Structure 1
Amino acid sequence: MASFDIKAGWRALLAMLALAAPALLSPVPALAQANEPGCRPEMASYRLPIQRANLGKDEVRLTFVGHATFLIETPGGVKVATDYNDYVRPPVTPDIATMNKAHSTHYSRAPDPAIKQVLPGWDPSGRGAARHDVTMGDVRVRNVPTNIRSYGGDTDYDGNSMFVFEIGELCIAHLGHLHHPLEPGHLRALGRVDVVLFPVDGSYTLDQEGMLEVLKSLQARVMIPMHFFGGGTLNRFLGRSQDLWPVVRRERPEIVLSKATLPAKPTIIVLPGH
């Protein structure tokens, strides 16, 4: 029977361990959590790229995060999130968050405490309409109250707001959960609108024909649809509007706008998402 060289055996074992060490010390891939909570299917949002080009002094970056939430970024670095809620949020903490109470997908019960200004589009005390006129850095945010339908079908007077964002020479209006046509008083309060963000679902909010009339009255140079729950609803709206305005579909959910680069005539710009 051949004798076993203990020293030679230990040397061979140590050599094998040395070869295996890099693999043993390398990080173990993280396993996906089967029970990881996710946003609602219709609330899928887009991730923003890590590297983002600086904005010129007259530029504004708009990113469609999903549903009715947009991230608005100013040249001075102020970040605003519209219809901030607990289901879909931008991947950065905004400095200002606007909210509407029509549905839980338009407001948050637990907004990030790092947000400097949280602006509900209704008066939580129930004493009347919300009134906001806030300036932070290079953006002014104000609201125009509107009515909504309550869950019981009644009218909740001043229950929501359209929010207006004034950045340099650009005026952006987010119509929120608009349920009714705009009256002359609403139009005067909104003032000149360069960019309008508007819902097109046609059922939970104002019907599509009514929304077309709203857009005609605003005459914004850029019109960006939101709140459409999928391509079918959006395409129905675009079919109704095709004889009125040109449509531009973007490949990315973000767009940089300035007063100088607005289209020469009113244009619908579709950002990917829903």
Structure 2
Amino acid sequence: MRLIVFLVLLCVAPIAALSQTRTPSHCIALAADIDGAQFLRRASYDVDVAPETVRLHYIAHASFLLRTNGGLNMVTDFTGFTGSAPMIPDVVMMNHAHDTHWTAFPDPAIPHVLEGWGEFGQGIDHRLDLGEVLVRNVSTDIRSQWSGVEENGNSIFIFEVAGLCIGHLGHLHHEPNAEQYAAIGRLDVVMAAVDGGTTVDLPTMIRILGRLKSSIVIPMHWFAQSTLDTFIAGMRDDFAVVEVGGPALDVSLDRLPSRPTVMVLRPAWLSVAADD
């Protein structure tokens, strides 16, 4: 009998060692846990992140690094280059509105490459559960290269991690409809394109952000300080504004601002010296 118990424990122990838990977010009930979670090795980029915290580093244009306490590195709107720091991301997300948002040649060593588009007009669905984080998407339209519309050609990527719901709106060209808003859910943090020209116009983006009611809004995809200033001026009535003073911000559920806040990050390539 003792031998049988011992053998059972030997079988169960490796499973327990592999299991990871994710603090539930309040993002959306439909984003449930998924069977078949995969667990990955730490990437070579090794920056400490506190428990129940996510580090957001604005790399360039619309590209951000999201790094977890468990060492997962995820890069949005990945172009193939993140800086001089040695890193093979665990997950990259891409949108194909312009070549500043994707690469046709991602490193084959990247375990998960999530394209934000599918067959023309069909969109794509991602539900990637890595235990510590759930990555999912909501498809929206983009303009085609001939100034038409590619339905479902853009993805809003959403990360449920450390009890937070973090969204990246991608190359959004229109206000989401009711079904898309419902699929997005309640975002604690949102990264939003604020150029007002190649993506959605500024009045529409400001209306979108007002409806999302996120605690933190991080502007991206601005081409000049004047464009950023115009966006901030339009947000000041309802949002506080904080100049972070660098490219990185650590976010946790218990430290979200009490008033909705625009937090301005200044993009910088990843480098070991900058983040040590």
| Stretches (4+) displaced over 3 A | 50-53, 86-91
Report if the CA contact (8 A) 1:71-1:90 is conserved: no
Counterpart CA distance in 2 for 1:113 and 1:237 is 38
Counterpart CA distance in 2 for 1:94 and 1:60 is 15
TM-score by length of 1: 0.78
The equivalent position to 1:178 in structure 2, one of 172, 179, 194, is 172
Alignment of 1:96-175 (within 5 A): 96-123=91-118, 125-126=119-120, 128-175=122-169
Counterpart CA distance in 2 for 1:51 and 1:181 is 36
Deviates more, 1:197-206 or 1:107-116: 107-116
Report if the CA contact (8 A) 2:120-2:151 is conserved: no
Report if the CA contact (8 A) 1:71-1:80 is conserved: yes
Report if the CA contact (8 A) 2:120-2:153 is conserved: no
TM-score by length of 2: 0.77
In structure 2, the partner of 1:206 is: 200
Counterpart CA distance in 1 for 2:213 and 2:72 is 27
Alignment of 1:32-43 (within 5 A): none
Count matched residues.
224
Report if the CA contact (8 A) 1:69-1:89 is conserved: no
Deviation at 1:224, TM superposition (A): 0.2
Relative to structure 1, the CA distance from residue 230 to residue 88 in structure 2 (aligned partners, 3 Å threshold; closer, same or farther) is farther
2:49 aligned with 1:55: yes
Report if the CA contact (8 A) 1:81-1:90 is conserved: no
Report if the CA contact (8 A) 2:246-2:267 is conserved: no
Relative to structure 1, the CA distance from residue 72 to residue 172 in structure 2 (aligned partners, 3 Å threshold; closer, same or farther) is same
The equivalent position to 2:90 in structure 1, one of 69, 72, 95, is 95
Gaps of 5+ in 1: 1-49
Relative to structure 1, the CA distance from residue 62 to residue 219 in structure 2 (aligned partners, 3 Å threshold; closer, same or farther) is same
Counterpart CA distance in 2 for 1:90 and 1:70 is 15
Relative to structure 1, the CA distance from residue 157 to residue 236 in structure 2 (aligned partners, 3 Å threshold; closer, same or farther) is same
Gaps of 5+ in 2: 1-43, 269-276
Alignment of 1:209-248 (within 5 A): 209-248=203-242
Provide the aligned C-alpha RMSD in A. Answer: 1.8
Which structure ranks higher in relative contact order (CA pairs < 8 Å, sequence separation ≥ 6)? 2
